[in-house]
Structure 1
Amino acid sequence: MTVFACAGCGATLSVPMSRVPLPVHVDQRYGHGLLGVLMEPRTYAVNPDPFGPPWRPWAEVGAAEAEACGVYAPVGALSGGSRGAAVLAPGDVRGTVFIPARSGGLCCGLDGRDGPNLACAQCGRPVATRIDDCSLWQAVWFDPAAVRRVAGAAVRPQTVDWEALRRDRPGVPPVEPPGQWHPLWEAAVGAALARLLAVSAGTRVAVPDGLVADTFGRALDALLPPGPPVKTLALAGPGLPTVSTSIALVPQHPQTGEHWAPPVTADAVPLPWDVWAQLAFRHDRRSVPGAGTMPADARRDDPSPLTPFGLFRPDVAVFLSTLARLREVRQPWLRAIYDRVTGHPYAGPF
């Protein structure tokens, strides 16, 4: 376990935490309402990329410097902040106070535009950035230069194995009440779609029926050239039979970040466990005609499954951000897709 402390005075700034992978929806902007908390309680993740201001426009950065930072296609701007910022849930933060002069936000809260907006309550040193504005996932980002990680409780959380995950963590349903697609799904599919295109080599991909086709099929049809399928896509992971496929959608362990190892002949495309598990094991109960009628005194205790209002749309910003950070985007055919989506981000399938 890890506890964060002020690098200036040593004051404790968090509860004991366990490190987990950086969520796929960490940079997502969604809708116009208040979103939930990004991180699960008592967990933190580390961002390997620079975080926060100052922001440098692409024209100032240039392709060569951007590639050195792991960005291989033009983006609007690159962060000039520090690498290694740790993100955790606001409820797990201790011993901080707001900095009134840095309370910039767009609408309903703080968006971090002014840099660190939380200070150590003991010494006044700026230590973190709280984000809780509408359209943004609620989180606190510790400045790696202002805090240090120290050993916390000696007891380490037990890593759950794949079978226990399958049994105890069914995942996040794809549709929220009253009928919107879940934002985590839109972000996860957006990131996986970028990686899927990269391993497709620009050829048509056959997609299995069901929820996989609902979430990936339309996008692949719109982005890849027409023609007969050359590669096949299938789910692979714990509890599923081994199948022969070109590309495998595999789960990412929510604690360790480990990817399930697919068959040796398949290219692996990871998905967060909470999305993959629903793709693999969800069984929709669809209404079908039946003989006769239910008795008048019968009562059902299983509500009908939620159905979405419209077609699924991957998160275009997550898709482009992921694609820009894949070396494969330098290939002309994939760069053409990147440029086309960047120029028309609201065209199908987005």
Structure 2
Amino acid sequence: MFVCAGCGTELTAPVSRVALPDHTDYGAWEQLHPPLMEPATYALNPRPTGPPWRLWDDVGEDLAAEQGVYLPQYSVSFGSRDRIVIAPGDSRGMALILEKCEGYCMGIDGRDGPNLACEGCGRPVATRMDDCGLWQTVWLEPDQVRRRPSGVPAVPVPGWDELDLEACAVAPVELDGSWNFRWQAAVPVALARLVVACEGRPVTLPGPLADLVGDAVAGYLPAGPPALTARLAGPGRPVTPSGNGEVLLVPRHPVTGEPWRPPHGTATVVPLDIGVWAHLALPGETSPQPATGTLPEGVLRDDYVVPLRPWRGFRPHGRAFRDTLAHLPGIRRPELRAYYDRYSGPGPY
């Protein structure tokens, strides 16, 4: 658990570290979101986040690069690194600082910095964020809190062969026919990584991903005859070398955040949200169904659920794509800067 660095007041329930989700900073505008983190978990963000912000023209390329930003932006964060994010339901012993609770329209967006104070000593220790377009979070300031053993036995980190991939899979379409917010952010994040890994060369997407969202994301990829092929690889999927012009889309481990690596070979790997990867990689429903005839009298029907269909086309989160490119050092290569100048425009957000 985390406690106040000043007085020792408990600020969280017992929590275990997991990977920071790819969709952390990217939600759907003017819509309320659920909590970002699962109960009893936390993650660290290694990038500087939050205020204070400085304009790009005042910062310059060299200082921006020290902050992990490699393309011109409107402003650059000089906030804390390694801020700790938890689900709001796991927070304890904190009270809102009402004069720091500004927001856009439906909640608090954190623009004023820490807005939660320790109930024990009153020092600002965290920021609650829950406005429209934001995943519900509480961000603990790393220099205002410290870790304390909770006494709860640690859960071993599962190996790749121990993960329940079916439980990890996230469906792309919600029950109301809308696209899943996590998919809308995770797919363009992976595409940005793919573009940099391929050094701006044209690449074809794996069949399952191309079939689902290929038309919607075509504007993000370099144009021209495909020179490289991307395919899904990961636990339970055998890897057979098929030449040099291949890139592997692999899952990120949900706890460590590390990408899966093939046991042999030197193929380029590009990490993909494990929820998206598992949905694409796992086989669909394969149970047999009668092709003709009718059920005997007295036999109850047990039809399989018809797959959900979206009511509109897939809309990738454009800012997720651009921000990911901006934080990848490889984007500074001349061929990729030329790509960025031409192809970074698509996206609704």
TM norm structure 2: 0.90
The residue aligned with 2:261 is 261
Which of 39, 42, 58 does residue 40 from structure 2 map onto? Answer: 42
**Residue aligned with 1:175, SS:** coil
1:125 positional shift: 0.8
1:336 positional shift: 2.8
Q: Take 1:217 and 1:47, find their aligned partners in 2: how far apart are those partners?
A: 32
Q: Which amino acid aligns with 2:279?
A: Q
Report matched runs for 1:330-349 at 5 Å: 330-342=332-344, 344-346=345-347
**Bigger mean CA deviation after superposition, 260-269 or 229-238:** 260-269
1:293 positional shift: 6.8
Report matched runs for 1:72-111 at 5 Å: 72-111=70-109
Which of 130, 134, 137 does residue 135 from structure 2 map onto? Answer: 137
Q: Take 2:85 and 2:220, find their aligned partners in 1: how far apart are those partners?
A: 35
**Bigger mean CA deviation after superposition, 94-103 or 212-221:** 212-221
Q: Take 1:154 and 1:170, find their aligned partners in 2: how far apart are those partners?
A: 24
Q: Take 1:136 and 1:160, find their aligned partners in 2: how far apart are those partners?
A: 30
Q: Take 1:250 and 1:89, find their aligned partners in 2: how far apart are those partners?
A: 27
Gap runs ≥5 in structure 2: none
| CA distance 1:212–1:284, shift in 2 (3 Å) | farther
Aligned 8 A contact 1:205 1:233 in 2: yes
**Bigger mean CA deviation after superposition, 38-47 or 177-186:** 177-186
1:194 matched to 2:195? The reply is no
Output one character per residue of 1:97-145: Cα deviation in whole Å (capped at 9) or x when no partner.
1111111011111110111111001111111000011111000001112
**Residue aligned with 1:181, SS:** coil
**Residue aligned with 2:207, SS:** coil
The residue aligned with 1:299 is 301
Output one character per residue of 1:18-66: Cα deviation in whole Å (capped at 9) or x when no partner.
1111111111131322101001111111111112112112111111111
**Residue aligned with 1:303, SS:** coil
1:277 positional shift: 0.7
Output one character per residue of 1:182-217: Cα deviation in whole Å (capped at 9) or x when no partner.
111121111110110112233222333233442356
Aligned 8 A contact 1:202 1:225 in 2: no
Q: Take 1:333 and 1:154, find their aligned partners in 2: how far apart are those partners?
A: 51
The residue aligned with 1:249 is 249
Q: Take 1:314 and 1:62, find their aligned partners in 2: how far apart are those partners?
A: 30
The residue aligned with 2:183 is 185
1:179 positional shift: 1.6
1:231 matched to 2:228? The reply is yes
Q: Take 2:203 and 2:297, find their aligned partners in 1: how far apart are those partners?
A: 49
Report matched runs for 1:42-81 at 5 Å: 42-81=40-79
**Residue aligned with 1:196, SS:** helix
**Residue aligned with 2:139, SS:** strand
Aligned 8 A contact 1:51 1:82 in 2: yes
Aligned 8 A contact 2:50 2:113 in 1: yes
The residue aligned with 1:328 is 330
TM norm structure 1: 0.90
Q: Take 2:77 and 2:219, find their aligned partners in 1: how far apart are those partners?
A: 34
The residue aligned with 1:7 is 5
RMSD (Å) for aligned C-alpha atoms: 2.4
Aligned 8 A contact 2:201 2:228 in 1: yes
Number of equivalences: 342
1:303 positional shift: 2.1
Output one character per residue of 1:76-96: Cα deviation in whole Å (capped at 9) or x when no partner.
211121112100001111001
Q: Take 1:28 and 1:346, find their aligned partners in 2: how far apart are those partners?
A: 13
Aligned 8 A contact 1:55 1:80 in 2: yes
1:215 matched to 2:216? The reply is no
**Residue aligned with 1:320, SS:** helix
The residue aligned with 1:122 is 120
Q: Take 1:23 and 1:150, find their aligned partners in 2: how far apart are those partners?
A: 24
Which of 24, 31, 44 does residue 33 from structure 1 map onto? Answer: 31
Aligned 8 A contact 1:66 1:72 in 2: yes
The residue aligned with 1:317 is 319
Q: Which amino acid aligns with 1:225?
A: A
Q: Take 2:168 and 2:22, find their aligned partners in 1: how far apart are those partners?
A: 18
1:157 positional shift: 0.9
The residue aligned with 1:281 is 282
Q: Take 1:5 and 1:210, find their aligned partners in 2: how far apart are those partners?
A: 45
1:282 positional shift: 4.4
Aligned 8 A contact 1:5 1:11 in 2: yes
Q: Take 1:66 and 1:41, find their aligned partners in 2: how far apart are those partners?
A: 35
Q: Which amino acid aligns with 1:247?
A: V
> Could you tell me the percent identity over the aligned residues?
47
Gap runs ≥5 in structure 1: none
Aligned 8 A contact 2:173 2:309 in 1: yes
Q: Take 2:218 and 2:197, find their aligned partners in 1: how far apart are those partners?
A: 12
Aligned 8 A contact 1:166 1:238 in 2: no
